Amino acid sequence: MPQPISIVRMMLIEAVDASAELMARPSVAERWDSPSALDGMTVGALCAHLVRAVGATLFYLDRTDATLTAADVPAGDLLDAVSYYGAALSAPVHDQIIEVSAAEAEIGPAATVQKCRDVAEAMRTRFAEEGAGRLVDALGDQKLSLEDFCQTRLVEALTHLDDLAMSVDEVRPVTSDAGVALVVDTLVGVARARHDDWTVLHALSRSERLAGTDVFPVL
């Protein structure tokens, strides 16, 4: 039975909608094979990567046993949005992103825009069907809640939305301030997981005390 969609799920849908709107602008098609703001990626590859990153939400839902709950996961094994990034950045698949994105961009701009729109529409339906305790398998068999996974996808969507806007000299589509704030909170959390809090505090307010430690960016 359809139910109200949580705030983080709604923010992710909004970000995917905004991504599709930006991808549909003529400047994106015109620069499809040109370098993007991300090293090693064309504009087309960046678009394809964004669509794959957000579409992973639906893929992981499909492959995860819907009857699983947090009680089925051993204590300490359930990932959250911050610990997900600690595991994801060291995963072997991370090194394949550029190659996979280039291959998936070969379908061209129009088809990629449609894929992005289809993901947003599928999310509207699927998210209304999934309960608050739904888990997803990510990074092999590691699990996290759908809410936390949507939080990681929001990081990807908004970061790459900005990358794409910069790549084609376009104004970034408007999205909610709350979504950007959640992304900032998540990335600061990743920094805190890697460093002690004093180091993060120095990075934010007293960079001269870092003694060569790189805290930001975290992705």
Over residues 41-53, the pLDDT tens digits come to: 999 999 999 999 9
pLDDT at 182: 98
**Per-residue pLDDT reduced to its tens digit, 199-219:** 999 999 999 999 888 999 998
Nearest partner of 12 among 127, 136, 118, judged by Cα: 127
Residue 197: predicted pLDDT: 96
pTM: 0.95
Q: Quick check: 125 pLDDT over 80?
A: yes
Pairing of strands 135-138, 142-145: antiparallel
Contacts of 141 (CB under 8 A, 6+ apart): none
With a pLDDT cut of 70, the percent of the chain lying above it is 96
How high is the mean pLDDT of the chain? 94
What would the CATH number be for the domain defined by 7-176? 1.20.120.450
Distance (Å, whole) CA 82 – CA 10 = 20
Rounded mean pLDDT, 79-98: 82
